[in-house]
Structure 1
Amino acid sequence: MTSIGKLFKIGQRNLVKDLDKLAVTHGVTGTQLSAIDFIADNKYVTQKDIEQEFHIKASSVATMIDRMVEKKMVTRVPNEKDKRVNEIHLTASGAKINKIAKQIISSHDDDILRPFSEDERKTIIKFLKYVAEDNSNPSLEGEKNGRK
């Protein structure tokens, strides 16, 4: 039997590659496209929120945001309560890309799920949510909490 982890790794790589191909035609990367979608769906977003949502290192997120600021897709706005924290806001250009992003992501998801019946799709989504919530291996609970 093939390892589930290996299948996820290969699948994830293929998904990123596919999304990047679609995104590049609009001058963004797949990760930037996903970040724009996340920013649009949430009223208050910081760099830390993006790091946590996508499980990306702080330095990578900072670089991505820098590039998005250069392309005038987002702006950094100092938080009124804590000036050390910047909120990330979409610009008009970013909002326009977000409309495209939603279409691309939806179309991409539809393409992936096309071969499956509605019941199979529901099961796939349920399984992916379960794995994404990190419930996949309760026997590692001690290691997750810093204990071995």
Structure 2
Amino acid sequence: MTENVMHMIKIVSNQLSREINNFAKQFGLTGVQLQIIDYINHLPQNQFVYQKDIEREFNIRRSTATSVLQKMEENQLIIRNVSPSDSRIKIISALPKAEEIQPQISRFLETTNEQLLSCLSAFQRRSFIKALEKLPEQIDLMTTKEEDHDHKNRL
């Protein structure tokens, strides 16, 4: 019998989402907001972050990113300033409120990663990480093939 990989990944994804959302609740945040704060705070000081970067990093749609970032701005976690090079684009920066909770976020994420990987040997960890890195690319290939197939059928 073959494993239902999609089902297993979905179960793990749901468990991790619940875990991070439960942690984020203490700050009045969602798991996605918490991860965005972590992402912004771990970039070099001189690197600008745009909404497109967040969409790409978290594989979320533009509308989702817009609503999450608007809520974060309302809650004074981030600020969006007009880019000096293009007035249509906004640079996203963390505000002190987000920076203050970063050490707790980092500890939570590090501890959770360690706990997740603790049941794997060093070799299994490396293999697991490599496999996880390949999956999004493979899914993109599958999606592209399906879109090409659908397009050909419409012609």
Q: TM-score normalized by structure 1? A: 0.87
Q: 2:86 aligns with which of 66, 75, 82?
A: 82
CA distance in 2, matches of 1:77, 1:19: 28
Could you tell me which residue of structure 1 aligns to residue 153 of structure 2?
none
Q: Are 1:45 and 2:49 matched, yes or no? A: yes
Gaps of 5+ in 2: 150-155
Q: Does structure 2 conserve the Cα–Cα contact (< 8 Å) formed by 1:35 and 1:50?
A: yes
Which whole-Å deviations, capped at 9, do the CAs of 1:94-136 have from their partners, x for residues lacking one?
A: 112222221111111112112222222122111111213x136
Which whole-Å deviations, capped at 9, do the CAs of 1:40-64 have from their partners, x for residues lacking one?
A: 2232111121111111121211111
Give the 5 Å matches for 1:51-90: 51-90=55-94
Could you tell me which residue of structure 2 aligns to residue 29 of structure 1?
30
CA distance in 2, matches of 1:21, 1:141: 32
Moved more, 73-82 or 91-100: 91-100
Task: State the Cα RMSD in Å.
Answer: 1.9
Q: Percent identity?
A: 24
Give the match's secondary structure for 1:16: helix
Which of the two has higher C-alpha Rg?
A: 2
Q: Does structure 2 conserve the Cα–Cα contact (< 8 Å) formed by 1:39 and 1:89?
A: yes
Count how many residue pairs are aligned between Structure 1 and Structure 2: 145
* 1:143 shift after superposition: 1.5
